[in-house]
Structures are given as structure tokens and as C-alpha cells.
Structure 1
């Protein structure tokens, strides 16, 4: 039986809240110095990730006072529950998707063959037709057939449409009182992370589709963690410590990896997901790309929702992985592609 949060976190009075300072890249990190620069960058990322976790859970942005005595016991119970989680209960991938993605690895596959595979999934057909008729793809001649739409999208566009068709319902299916909002926020981040991963992946020599896919799925397990936390009564959720939320993120990461293996995603994607908790030097090119893209997406999304005063310049935080100009271009492209007005309608 899961204990009540009320017992664990009941406090006589909440401590005074202090607003956090704006999130900025530290001076040492900006100057490219080692030592203090590395620790400053780590502190910056820790603050960014804590704010992101609180935003996903709908918690206030709060400077906490350290781990609560009841949190380790709660975390152990959550670990037990997450280890028993049956990944087979996750929504199944559309039956046609593995065949379609396999066909898309062949650069010479005919448009008629791709259209035949897409045509086996009515929902995917609708999505392909909708995207192909959007302003981005609009042509002088109207779309007359599914094959015409497939050819217009091209292999890269079709890969992205198929991936979104696969993952959007899964990420938006988080249950509980915050389910709809949390699910939309997860998807908003996934889109940005996938876009940033594909953008940076070209500099790291990664396969464009694998980069995009890794970004889309990297926080799949967060929905399950939101469900576990939302099932409990929280007297003062703003008192949850950064260490506790970081440990929850670790549980989410392990669930994401299990889901990726269950879905038999490409080997490079699974490897990149498994490397997210390792040091920079041990990560593969896709692992490094995903690590940076994930945090750029966090910063951009939090800036859009005014959790941050503005999106911080993170261009010089990872000089050993990407040139500052490459990260700066990625941040600019994210800002261009994802207008804050599009996400503001989902805010509570």
C-alpha cells in the first residue's frame, strides 16, 4: 500500500519562498575556463533541470531547503513500483510503423511502395495528408493522391510524420489530475528536443532520423513517473527537494530505456539513451547530441512559458562537444521554429 504524501510531507509551516535569480550561463563557462567553469556549468544545468522537472509536474518554481526525511522511503517505494512496471502495458506501436521505417532506410524505395505502406494505417494517412497540405509544403497544385503527398514530403519528412504519429499519443496519455497538461508539456518538449537533436546531429555525423527519433523518445518514462506522483496526496508539493526530483528523473530515464528496447528502436538510439547518465567522454556522438539537445529544449520551453525571464545563451556551456556557434545557431533555430504563443495556450 502506498503511503500518503500527507504523512510524509506534513510541515507546521512552509518556509518563506525566495524567487530564483534569472538563469544565465556562468561567466567561467562563457570564457571557456576549466575547473570552476566546469562546476559552474554543472550548477547551471542542475538549476535548469530542477526547474524543468517542477514545470512538468506542475509544481511551483521554488528554492528548496534540502531533502526531506520522508523522501528516501518514498523514493524506495517508487523504485519498487517502477521496477515492476510492465512495459508491455505501454501503447503498442502501429503495426505498419516498423515496416515503414525499415523501408525508409532505403534511399531508392519508390513512392508507390511507401504510399502502400502508409495506406495500411488510416490515422497515418490522415496525418500525412494534413501535413502535406500545410503552408510549409503548399504548392501551386493541390494534393491529388496519397502517393503525391508521400513524394512531396520526401523521406525525411515522412520519417518525422511517422515518428510523431507514433509518439504523440503515448506522451500525451499521462493519467491523473495533471494528465492533459503534463502530456502536452511532454510533447512540447519532445518536439523541441527532436528538432535540436536533428540540428546538432549533422555536426556530429549522426544519422538525421536516428537523431530525431532519439529526441522524440528521450523523456517517454516521465509520463509514468508523473502518474505515480499524481496518485498521491501532496500537502505542500513545493517542498519537494531538488535531490528527490533528480532521483525521479533517474527512474524516468530507466523506464524510457526499457520502453525503447521493448519497441526495438535502432541500436544507436538505445545506446544514446543509455549514455545519458554517463560522463561526456564516454558518450557516443548521438549520446552527446541528445544530451545537449535535451537541455536546449528545456531552456527554450521554460523561456516560452515564462518560467525563465528569457532563454539563456548556452552556446559556450559544452565547448568540448559542440562549437559555440553551432549551439547558438541551434538555439536561434529553436526560437524561430517554436513560437512561444503556440505553447502559451497550454499553461495552467
Structure 2
């Protein structure tokens, strides 16, 4: 899947060889860091990241009643089911919906430098989700100008090729939220996707400072939680309509194994090894272990996006200096811009309820 998307995004670039397959149940190995790039990711302390992650999962599960270091029997059932998927020969990618048929046509049109805004507008108009996304993105860009964009063709010309490429990639990987699904998918999936989109934007904004390909950085942030969203279905199937999930130990193991599942899916989709490695490094991050440049960037952007969400939802104090310790002026500028992503981001499309 990645090669298909990458070829369309970069018609002039030669296609890469697909990375070799490795055992899906093992996290991607850490790689040695190359010579220091122009910029560098923040040196966030373990305490900083752990505190923010704890607050994030408390907000995510919206369940302050589940406490303690031990997992509950119900949590163990979910974790065992996820472990069984990782150990099986089941295709991880088969658990994720396929790209909508309209997107290949749109992305193909964007290969040309002389793309037709009118033709793209007609194609986009066939998909209500894309119409909403394009118009919202255009209006966000011109917020405060007193001008309201209501025409799809006008919006397409304002956004331009690069903006459309990243927007369509987000839509391509955005999960369908089934309104008839269980409580965990309904509650958690939109929140997880919101954080993924903000993380992807932060990655893209900071990538060039670290000598990292902006599109690969964007992709890593966007898809890092695909395995976690897939796991919500397991949680729904085992749910007893009560809030028994969300303990600290459960969240730690859940995120670790869900990221391993994401790596498996990424390899099946032939994502570049740098993206898969960066995601896998988040699953097994330990003190003193070298991390790839993209892995360091992903750690920082994941942190920034979570802090932004938690501050916006009044779960963290925006004036707490500990939250921003070690962040560069560039990272702080990125953090402030993430405030606007909420207005620009499109909620995951919902599947029509069954009649």
C-alpha cells in the first residue's frame, strides 16, 4: 500500500524496494543514530513522558475508578486475545478496512503539476466526507480573514497540491467508526485518531529540521495507533457494558502490543522500514538504548500532541512549566500551532447505522 501511495505522491522519485519481512510478534529493533542532523528532538525525561501518558490514558478511558498496578481478569482476557493475534498467522492488515475506491483516482490526479482544479472538485464532490474535509481545511487556513469558503473548487485551489496530498492521506487511513459498535470504539477511536492526526502534523512540521523526509514523518505519526484502533474491537467483543478496563498496567501492555501489531500491519503494507522501526521503538523504549532520528521525532511529537489534547480538555494545566521543560523554541511553536488542528481535523467518518 505504501509504494502505491508513495508513487502517486512522488512521480519523479524511484520506487523503493519493499522491506524484508520479520516476525510480527517482535518490536522493530533500535537502529544506531547517524550523524547529528541540523535540528534535534527534545530530551524529554522519563518522568515527563510517563506523567503525560498516564493523564492521557485516564482521559482516554474516562475511567478514574480503575486503579492499581495489577490487571483485572477482564483486562487479562483482552491482552490474551491481542497476544493470540500477534502469535497467529492472521494478517494484521486484514483487520483494517481497505482504502475507499475514490482515493486512488484523486491521488493519481495529483501527480501532475498541471492538475485540474475543476476536475478534482467534481471528483471530490462525490464523497461527502472529502467535501467536508476540504472545505473545513480551506476555511481554517483563512480564519480571521472575514471570508468563508463554501465552493469545493475554490477550496481545492486554495489548499493546493501539497495540502491535498496530506489531507487525502489522512482520509485514506482514517478508520470508519461504526455507530453500532461497542462503547470502547465509540468513546476511544475518535480521541485516538485526533491524537494521531496532531502527532502526524507535528512530525511533518519538525521533520526537515532533523533531516527527515516530511512525508515519512507524517505517515509515522498518522498510522502509529492503527493497531490500537484495531484492538478496540477486541475490547468491544469482551465488554460487559461496564468500565473495567483502563488500569495503569493494562494500558502499558496494551499500547506496547498494539504498536507491535501496527508494525506487522505496516510491513504488510510495505511501509518504509524507517517508519516501521520508529513505531516499534516506541513499544520497547528503554533508557540508554539508541533510537533512530524518526523514532526520536515521533516520541517528541507524540508527547506534544498528547499535551495539547490534555490542555485543551482541561486535564493538564497549561501553565505547568514541567510540561515544556527541554522543548526547543521550534517545538514550542509547533505545540502552539497544534491548537488549530482541532478545527481543521475531520472526525473519523461513521458507518451508517443498521436499519
TM-score, length of structure 2 as denominator length: 0.67
Q: For residues 118 and 326 of structure 1, do their structure 2 counterparts lie closer, same or farther at Cα, with a shift above 3 Å needed?
A: farther
Question: Post-superposition shift, 1:194?
Answer: 1.5
Q: 1:218 aligned to 2:221?
A: no
Contact 1:111–1:150 (CA<8 Å) still a contact in 2?
no
Corresponding residue for residue 260 of structure 1: 266
Q: Report which of the two structures shows the higher radius of gyration computed on alpha carbons.
A: 1
Question: Post-superposition shift, 1:253?
Answer: 0.4
Q: C-alpha distance in 1, partners of 2:168/2:49?
A: 32
1:208-230 per-residue CA deviation (whole Å, 9 max, x = no partner) reads 22222221211111122222233
Corresponding residue for residue 167 of structure 1: 173
Aligned residue pair count:
293
Q: 1:48 aligned to 2:57?
A: no
Q: C-alpha distance in 2, partners of 1:80/1:115?
A: 47
Q: C-alpha distance in 2, partners of 1:78/1:226?
A: 10
**Aligned match for 1:316, one of 325, 340, 347:** 325
Q: Superposed, which structure 2 residues align to 1:11-26 within 5 Å?
A: none
Higher alpha-carbon deviation: 150-159 or 261-270 = 261-270
Corresponding residue for residue 130 of structure 1: 135
**Aligned match for 1:153, one of 159, 164, 170:** 159
Contact 1:221–1:253 (CA<8 Å) still a contact in 2?
yes
Q: Superposed, which structure 2 residues align to 1:276-291 within 5 Å?
A: 276=282, 277-278=284-285, 282-291=290-299
Question: Post-superposition shift, 1:97?
Answer: 4.2
Structure 2 residue runs without a partner (length 5+): 1-42, 348-355
Q: C-alpha distance in 2, partners of 1:125/1:212?
A: 19
Q: For residues 60 and 225 of structure 1, do their structure 2 counterparts lie closer, same or farther at Cα, with a shift above 3 Å needed?
A: farther
Q: Superposed, which structure 2 residues align to 1:186-201 within 5 Å?
A: 186-201=192-207
CA RMSD of aligned residues (A): 3.9
Provide the secondary structure at the position in 1 that maps to 2:99.
Answer: coil
Q: 1:88 aligned to 2:91?
A: no
Contact 1:111–1:151 (CA<8 Å) still a contact in 2?
no
Corresponding residue for residue 65 of structure 1: 68
Higher alpha-carbon deviation: 179-188 or 95-104 = 95-104
Q: C-alpha distance in 2, partners of 1:197/1:245?
A: 24
